[in-house]
Amino acid sequence: IPGGIKVRISAATAKVKVNTTVRLSATTEPAGQVVTWTTSDKDKATVVDGLVTGVAVGTATITAAVGEQKATCEVTVDAA
């Protein structure tokens, strides 16, 4: 997207165990954009500023968004 904002996430997939965390990071072009992190299923995994916590066995899609631009990571939560 010429002149547009781009966002990339550090991994396309990640694994985490219940009650543990994994750190994801997002890069933006131009640099320094504010990234909003969301989870598709807070009953499986939560995310705060890229820190994903496994809640229950299953999968969740973590999204890093800057405006309309989004990048996603499929997170698999395994038993502790």
DSSP state letters, 34-61: PPEEEES-TTTEEEETTEEEE-SSEEEE
pLDDT at 4: 87
- What digits encode the pLDDT tens for the residues 63-78? 999 999 999 999 999 9
Nearest to 34 by CA among 77, 55, 64: 64
For residue 2, is pLDDT > 60? no
**Mean pLDDT within 34-43:** 98
pLDDT for the residue 3: 61
Other C-beta atoms closer than 10 Å to the C-beta of 23 total 11
Asked whether residue 1 carries a pLDDT value surpassing 80, the answer given is no
Nearest to 30 by CA among 69, 56, 78: 69
Q: How do strand 58-66 and strand 69-78 relate by DSSP bridges? A: antiparallel
pLDDT of 38 reads 98
